Chains A and B, each alone.
Chain A
């Protein structure tokens, strides 16, 4: 444990630190990670930026996804269909297809049974405003590993790397030596914005979204 920060960040200043960030994984892709329990979806041209900005024919604030103890609730602000049914508010289940407006379609995944974190993929050929492959709604943990039950599947890996929340903020767990911003660690280490994590099998970077 190396997080010897003088002020122990509370969950509130965790959001100040990170609100959302992009996880760049070399050779794999980029992922927008949203830490907030309430995530807004919309077009990026609005005055107040949305958490998950989509370049599609949708409103500036088109829908909200809220993480509750029961699960993820999708609240429609404008026209939203889930699996073809028009919805105002609905509980999302694994592999639900969310259609925002007429054409922008997302698929909702909760690939890891023990984690409530979710993943949103665009399946209609649209794009996120950030050049990322998917949006990850991070609850407690993110699993990056070889199994299909991972938030980010990396076939070449032999074991999973886990990003998790702790009292001080975010941390990473990796069974083996890891290097963060040039500092050697073992098994687990704290993460900060801009951290570059290097393991034998994976290199990833956290970039804070402005």
Chain B
């Protein structure tokens, strides 16, 4: 072999040529070492420069373990173009096949075909047809197939020209439709079939004295499959079909069939095309609401509280119309209790927005305190005097709720008639405090008013309130008290949810996903 450049020369600055690797119609390939010590293969592109450069540029950034990597295209001082490539230390398949004139073991051939198929699949996926698959372009490095010389557009415009190709080796792998100027990916599948045949038998399917003779056999003769292991016959028949439409539609179908006949379970998985299913969309930016100032929160809260008045009034009236059966005596206490309860939920939740689950108990404690207050308020609404020092001093004859049993007050503070208390064993003060206190302890009321919640209005939250309000009803002394307590707490749950502003809760991402996007 006669190479233009000798060992030690540096036609391309920074790359010292060590030896020539190969010659071809396209140019010369050298083994070179960079100034930094990286081993590369340099291809001096001489023919069809523009076409070749265009083809190479499409492939420069392809990455696949079974492809010889292309690093760069550089021009030297003389204006010659050099393709800087990965240096593959292994042997070309042609050298291996030369040592095995009767072919290699079917297991090995099948394994190599898988690597070859992966590489070709990668090219096809990127819209590139190799066009020049042959053993000299396929390398084996540490057992891994590396396909090289892709992206170099061969000038094979017509069959006449192909017949005059200098390198007769290429003709052995040419699909018949190349004679009609058809260069789609089917020609690579045909070439892969020829390669598989050659790996299994040591010979190409069509041999001849001249390129024309070989091409004619590709067009007309049927390959002799009697030498091929019988499990491969059907595969090769399909891969070497003259009509590209009857061939394997994709190289991976061929690889899959080979894996199946060779019972290579691992390879089947490997050879399957990449799943088209995209991973679930992950919000790349977690929506963060800017922290609100206290004044903003106060303003926000005021609005909510005002809306709560309207909502409480509306709901109380609606309730009276639907269930009250014309008894408006309970309307006012229900309205006030609903309003007070909803305010007691809205105020702490708005001023101290919940963050996570860690602050549940301090919150409950606040709610219990407020719940006791509501109990006292309810009692006051019923006409009882609260156990305040000034009350005790002012009206000795007034109703003293902490001394049980008591005569009921003569009338409600607002209007209406009070039932006789049925539960006389407990002071009515204790009853009210226990009922409202417990109601605010057992439920996580802030969930109904926090900004980020699952839905604006949750019927489940309302039922939870109804459930507990009903369960604890035994604490209240009479039907009248029970009705007011139950209804006002239920309505409060509704009021909180419809007045508190709502944003959809950001779904908590799974840990794996969080880490993946970090």
Which residues of A approach B to under 8 Å, CB–CB?
A: 22, 24-30, 125, 127, 131, 133, 155-156, 194, 196, 203, 205, 207
Contact = CB atoms under 8 A, between A and B. Distances in A.
A171 to B, nearest CB: 19
Interface string B1-41: 11100111000000000111111000000010100000100
Nearest to A206: B7
Contact of B19 (A26, A127, A156): A26
B8 A207 contact: yes
B51 interface: no
Contact of A196 (B6, B18, B98): B6
Contacts of B3: 26-27, 203
B220 interface: no
Contacts of A22: 18
Given A203-B3, A205-B7, A207-B7, A131 B18 contact: yes
A194 B142 contact: no
B261 interface: no
A129 B468 CA distance: 80
A128 B142 CA distance: 14
Interface string B190-220: 0000000000000000000000000000000
Most A C-beta atoms less than 10 A away, residue of B1, B21, B22, B87: B1
Given A27-B22, A203-B20, A131 B39 contact: yes
Contacts of A194: 8
Given A131-B87, A207-B8, 9 more contacts: A25-B19, A26-B20, A27-B19, A27-B23, A155-B98, A203-B2, A203-B3, A205-B7, A205-B8
Contacts of A133: 89
Contacts of B87: 131
A125 B142 CA distance: 6
A27 B1 contact: yes
Contacts of A30: 18-19, 31
Contact of A27 (B20, B89, B98): B20
A155 B98 CA distance: 10
Contacts of A155: 98
Interface string B66-108: 0000000000000000000001010000000010000000000
A204 to B, nearest CB: 8
Nearest to B141: A125
28 contacts: A24-B18, A26-B1, A26-B19, A26-B20, A27-B1, A27-B3, A27-B19, A27-B20, A27-B21, A27-B22, A27-B23, A29-B19, A30-B18, A30-B19, A131-B31, A131-B33, A131-B89, A155-B98, A156-B1, A194-B8, A196-B6, A196-B7, A203-B1, A203-B3, A205-B6, A205-B8, A205-B19, A207-B18
Nearest to A156: B1
Contacts of B6: 196, 203, 205
A27 B142 CA distance: 20
B55 to A, nearest CB: 25
